[in-house]
Amino acid sequence: MCFNNVLRRVGALALLASLLAACGGGGGSIPAPAPTLPNVLSVTVDTGPIGSGYNVNRLYATVKICQPGSSTQCGTIDHVLVDTGSSGLRLLSSAISAITPPLSLSRVNGGTGLPLLNCVQFVDNTFAWGPVVTADIVLSGKRAASVPIQVIGDPAFNSLTTASPSPCSGNAMTTATEVGANGILGVGLFKVDCGSSCASSVNNGSYFTCTNASCTATTGATARITTPAQQVTNPVPLFATDNNGVLIDLPRALTATSSLAGSLIFGINTQSNNQLSSIASTATVLTATPLDGYITTSMTLPNSPALSLTSSFIDSGSNGFYFYSNSPAIQPCSGTSASFYCPALLTLQATLFGATGATNKGVSFSIGNASAMFGDSTQAVLPNLAGPTGTSANASSFDWGLPFFYGRRVFFGIEGMTPSGMSTSGPFYAF
């Protein structure tokens, strides 16, 4: 098996996404329960799109896109990764091209009469690159109109790497095999991709135009300031109702299994199925930092000094618990699993603190031997998967990935929005 562990940065929010690159195998969707209300989108954890290799702890949904304003010129794309660590929809060009009859989505003008282009850079020397276009996004019974989305791997722009200088470096990710999904649905804490940082800085590292439409000119790409209205945008705040946040509801998984099904529920305290009071006996609201969505994780690992990880976050787009270990009992695996930990099964305790420090919540979680877990490629749900991030010199982060969600109802309050009955505005987490 092959494993490719990468750190993705979208705007100011850092998130760790482990993309398990294709080494054969294949997935396919499992039957999902029909939504009972218009604000419920069925989600599944399985081994991923057919032919994409072995993917674990990846939360997938089916997304519908339409020509803006049309109810008939539409198509659906399955196995889109549900990612609470980013904002906005990013779809593979190949997945959009497979829609019949084909859609013709208008490109966003970069301000020079040329298309606006978006780069998402990965620390493993790969990147996602493509134009920003507008589409209506339909998620169950909810619709967001004329939303900027990114098209990954559009062949009209595949000559980028011949440009000099190039805004992206390394190897382009253009297929479901390389991404581990047919796209990424960012429904996190923030309304747009990179907000004010991209609107105030030319060299924001995310948005560009080129001197010609296909970026083949030797002068390469030109960085662009982008208004929030031009940036790849979280569709949830654009819904007419149920638009102040999301709730992910997944069943408990105590041991490895082949698949599970759950729900992505839109809105907080707007319907009977998204009330914070549903977990009132144990729920804690943790405010997040307004620019990065960070909280603090405090924990003491076996036979080690205490850790205070101030750049922590909760992220459905990551496939494990990712943190720096200062414990001899928690060491990385060897060989192809070196991006993960391989301890004997351990149950650990941590405390999560909100950005103001006013609220905190204790969390119990278990980690185990990743090499042993990967021995059965039919098992897509691995509740004890964990891996390292950072070193002793820069360790400040705990990425609470998808295993954190198993058996929990986890709420994400969107920035600047205050749910009914609450005094706290987003960004916040609650569980």
Residue 353, pLDDT > 60, answer yes
* One domain for residues 179 and 285: no
* One domain for residues 46 and 107: yes
Q: Quick check: is 316 in a domain? A: yes
* One domain for residues 282 and 232: no
Contacts of 404 (CB under 8 A, 6+ apart): 314, 321, 363, 365, 410
* One domain for residues 285 and 159: no
State the pLDDT at residue 51.
Answer: 87
Q: What is the CATH classification number for the domain harbouring 412?
A: 2.40.70
Q: Quick check: is 197 in a domain? A: yes
According to DSSP, the β-strands at 142-152 and 87-92 are parallel
The chain-wide mean pLDDT, for the chain, equals: 86
Q: Quick check: is 267 in a domain? A: no
* One domain for residues 370 and 231: no
Check whether the bond before 427 is cis (ω within 30° of 0): yes
* One domain for residues 89 and 213: yes
Question: Mean pLDDT, to the nearest integer, of 169-188?
Answer: 90
Query: Among 214, 238, 262, where does a domain finish?
Result: 238
Q: Which CA distances in Å does 59 have to 76, 113, 180, 186, 357? A: 17, 38, 11, 12, 30
- Domain holding 185, by residue range, is 4-238
Give the residue, 372 or 121, on which the prediction is more confident.
372
- Condensed to tens digits (0 to 9), the pLDDT of residues 31-68 reads 455 556 899 999 999 999 998 889 999 999 999 999 99
* One domain for residues 277 and 219: no
State the pLDDT at residue 146.
Answer: 97
State the pLDDT at residue 213.
Answer: 64
Q: Quick check: is 250 in a domain? A: no
**CA gap 207, 10 in Å, rounded:** 12
Token readout for 419 is 């749910």
Q: Quick check: is 346 in a domain? A: yes
* One domain for residues 17 and 109: yes
Q: Quick check: is 129 in a domain? A: yes
| Predicted TM-score (pTM) of this structure | 0.90
Number of domains in the chain: 2
* One domain for residues 231 and 280: no
* One domain for residues 218 and 302: no
* One domain for residues 71 and 206: yes
Closest to 236 in 3D by CA, of 227, 247, 251, 226: 247
Give the residue, 216 or 87, on which the prediction is more confident.
87
Can you name the residues that pair with 260 across neighbouring β-strands? Answer: 45
* One domain for residues 222 and 148: yes
Q: Quick check: is 62 in a domain? A: yes
State the pLDDT at residue 110.
Answer: 84
- E strand residue ranges, 342-394: 346-353, 360-367, 386-387
